């Protein structure tokens, strides 16, 4: 049985655990390097990316996560988790560090104050042919993607500019929004079935 970890330093950990249970997976919370060693894949939850990164340094799990990502461990990051996977961050907090691995530039809090939080229906390539209700909370968007990154979904702003909000690069998946806050588990299911089962630890 595949063990899936949820990084449990801060953020909506419980919600990801619940979504994984609903998909029939065996989730565990991960705070220590020994717990990380026991999982085949990891979820980085929504929350506050600066806080999660700082705590990861304090718990001495920052470098171990970086290393596992570099070795090809499947990782899914939602919202703050997307920022933590990004190689580059625009509007980063002073001293902000990320695990990296995903060849994207993200802009933190990209949707601005007026639309701090909103919901919309999105189609997501490969994952959902019918709309997914996407919940955005002080969400980032993707400003630039490397050539090996696949854009799965975008949101178009008032000026008609499309901003990617769901991307995949090999074993790494990231969304600007929070499927863990809805009862629609298609993104978790895709991560488990299409990305984790091919990588057995
Ligand atoms: N704005 C937050 C950050 O920078 C992310 C918000 C979220 O995860 N809902 O980490």
3-state DSSP assignment of residue 109: coil
Ligand 1 binding residues, C-beta < 6 A: 46-49, 79-80, 83, 108-109, 137-138
Of the listed 15, 16, 178, 188, which one is catalytic?
A: 178
CATH number at residue 115: 3.40.50.880
pLDDT tens digits, residue range 164-198?
999 999 999 999 999 999 999 999 999 999 999 87
| Structural domain harbouring 169 | 3-199
Quote the number of domains for the chain: 1
Q: State residue 112's pLDDT score.
A: 77
HSE at residue 126, side-chain half, CA atoms within 13 A, is 16
What's the whole-number mean pLDDT along residues 56-65? 98
Q: State residue 130's pLDDT score.
A: 93
Q: State residue 100's pLDDT score.
A: 98
- Residue nearest (by alpha carbon) to ligand 1 atom 9: 137
Q: State residue 114's pLDDT score.
A: 62
DSSP secondary structure letters along 134-189: EEEES--EEEEE-TTPEEEEEEE-TTS-EEEEEEEETTEEEESS-GGGSS--HHHH
- Say whether 180 is catalytic: yes
3-state DSSP assignment of residue 193: helix
- Say whether 94 is catalytic: no
117 strand-pairing partners:
137
What's the whole-number mean pLDDT along residues 153-163? 91
CA 129 to ligand 1 centroid distance, Å: 27
What's the whole-number mean pLDDT along residues 154-171? 93
Roughly how many angstroms between the first and final C-alpha of the chain, as a whole number? 10
Q: State residue 186's pLDDT score.
A: 97
What's the whole-number mean pLDDT along residues 32-45? 98
Helix axes of 62-70 and 49-58: crossing angle, nearest 10 degrees = 100
Ligand 1 closest atom vs CA 45: 8
pLDDT tens digits, residue range 106-142?
999 998 766 689 999 999 999 998 999 999 999 999 9
HSE at residue 30, side-chain half, CA atoms within 13 A, is 28
pLDDT band at 17 (very low <50, low <70, confident <90, very high): very high
Taking 90 as the threshold, does the pLDDT of residue 5 lie above it? Answer: yes
The single-letter DSSP state of residue 65 is H
HSE at residue 183, side-chain half, CA atoms within 13 A, is 0
Q: What is the pTM of this model?
A: 0.96
- Say whether 178 is catalytic: yes
CA 201 to ligand 1 centroid distance, Å: 30
Burial of 112 (0-12, 13-18, 19+ CB in 10 A): exposed
Ligand 1 pocket test target in 7, 15, 48 with most atoms within 8 Å of CB? 48
pLDDT band at 158 (very low <50, low <70, confident <90, very high): confident
Higher pLDDT, 80 or 1: 80
Taking 70 as the threshold, does the pLDDT of residue 200 lie above it? Answer: no
């Amino acid at each position: 049985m595949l063990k899936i970890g949820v990084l449990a330093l801060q953020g909506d950990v419980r919600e990801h655990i619940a979504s994984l249970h609903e998909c029939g997976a065996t989730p565990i919370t991960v705070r220590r390097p020994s717990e990380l060693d026991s999982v085949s894949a990891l979820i980085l939850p929504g929350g506050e990316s600066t806080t999660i990164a700082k705590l990861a340094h304090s718990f001495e799990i920052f470098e171990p996560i970086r290393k596992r990502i570099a070795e090809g461990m499947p990782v899914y990051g939602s919202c703050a988790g997307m920022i933590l996977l990004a190689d580059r961050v625009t509007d980063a907090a002073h001293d902000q560090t990320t695990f990296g691995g995903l060849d994207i530039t993200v802009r933190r809090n990209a949707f601005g104050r007026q639309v701090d939080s909103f919901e919309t229906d999105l189609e997501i390539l490969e994952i959902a042919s019918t709309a997914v209700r996407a919940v955005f909370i002080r969400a980032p968007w993707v400003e630039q993607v490397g050539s090996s990154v696949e854009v799965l979904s975008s949101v178009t702003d008032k000026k008609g500019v499309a901003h990617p909000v769901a991307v995949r690069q090999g074993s790494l998946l990231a969304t600007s929004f929070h499927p863990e806050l809805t009862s629609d588990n298609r993104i978790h299911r895709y991560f488990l079935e299409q990305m984790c089962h091919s990588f057995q630890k």
